[in-house]
Amino acid sequence: MVTVVPSLRDTIADDLRTQITAGHLKAGARLPSEPRLAADYKVSTPTLRNALALLQAEGLIEKLHGKGNFVRHPLRRLTYTGGHLTPDTDLHVTIRTTNVRARGDLIPLLKVPSRTLLTESLYLTYQRESPHSLACIYVPQNLTPAELPWCRPGWAETRETVTARLPTPEEASTLRISSTLAILAITRVSSDATGRVVEAARLVLPGDRANALFITHHTTEERGTEE
């Protein structure tokens, strides 16, 4: 340990954290106002706000400007695997589908010419009235006009690139998470046997409520041909 003396901020955060996990502060409840809490703990408001920022980064509380600080409902930890979130009970989804033209990063991702017509589907999943995760799926229109996402008819390969980062301000506000809560960003590209890209997806999974699981089976051929 480098720091022997715990800071006031950490002490207060620890106290509130145990009150939340012990159930003294119930899910959905509003915390006392920040000046009130600061007086209770005998600290200044900035110090108290630093403590709350820690809890927010852990996903324990939700700060709503002008309304107050609220204890989050504990969200079940879901596992993303094989293109799905499991278990997907109790999840409801809003889908907004629009037609866009390929631009920027999408061009090399989908391996299509610029301004190719794409179907963009924005999935926003909810768990118990609060946003859970975000997915944006792009399908080239000229390739598969009739096929729905999640059906994988002729997929030969999917590549999933996984990154950990902090959310953009837009992501943070739509998911109602702290801008300091780590998220799992997955870029998934599926292609058919000819190498054509059939679908590309950008997934945003908040780190406090989602894992990703990848299972690799090593066949004997693979093991033999490895360099």
For a copy of itself, the binding residue among 32, 35, 46, 108 (CB under 8 A) is: 46
Sequence-distant (6+) residues with CB within 8 A of 26 are: 71
| Residue 173 contact, options DNA, a copy of itself, none, Cβ 5-8 Å cut-off depending on partner type | a copy of itself
> Please, are residues 207 and 164 in contact by the beta-carbon 8 Å criterion?
yes
Q: Can residue 225 be called a binding residue for a copy of itself (CB under 8 A)?
A: no
| Residue 33 contact, options a copy of itself, DNA, none, Cβ 5-8 Å cut-off depending on partner type | DNA
Of 11, 132, 14, 12, nearest to 72 by C-alpha is 132
Of 177, 216, 213, 182, nearest to 86 by C-alpha is 213
Q: Can residue 5 be called a binding residue for a copy of itself (CB under 8 A)?
A: no
> Please, are residues 81 and 158 in contact by the beta-carbon 8 Å criterion?
no
Of 115, 114, 32, nearest to 69 by C-alpha is 32
| Residue 141 contact, options DNA, a copy of itself, none, Cβ 5-8 Å cut-off depending on partner type | none
Size of the site for DNA (CB under 7 A): 27
Between CA 43 and CA 58, with CA 182 as vertex, the angle to 5 degrees is: 35
Q: Can residue 165 be called a binding residue for a copy of itself (CB under 8 A)?
A: yes
Q: Can residue 158 be called a binding residue for a copy of itself (CB under 8 A)?
A: yes
Residue 4, phi then psi, degrees to nearest 5: -85, -35
- Torsion sign, CA atoms 170, 174, 175, 179: positive
Q: Can residue 89 be called a binding residue for a copy of itself (CB under 8 A)?
A: no
- Nearest distance in Å: CB 205, a copy of itself: 7
For a copy of itself, the binding residue among 213, 224, 225, 227 (CB under 8 A) is: 213
Q: Which of residues 47-106 bind DNA (CB under 7 A)?
A: 47, 49-50, 63-69
| Residue 126 contact, options a copy of itself, DNA, none, Cβ 5-8 Å cut-off depending on partner type | none
Smaller CB separation from a copy of itself, 71 or 198: 198
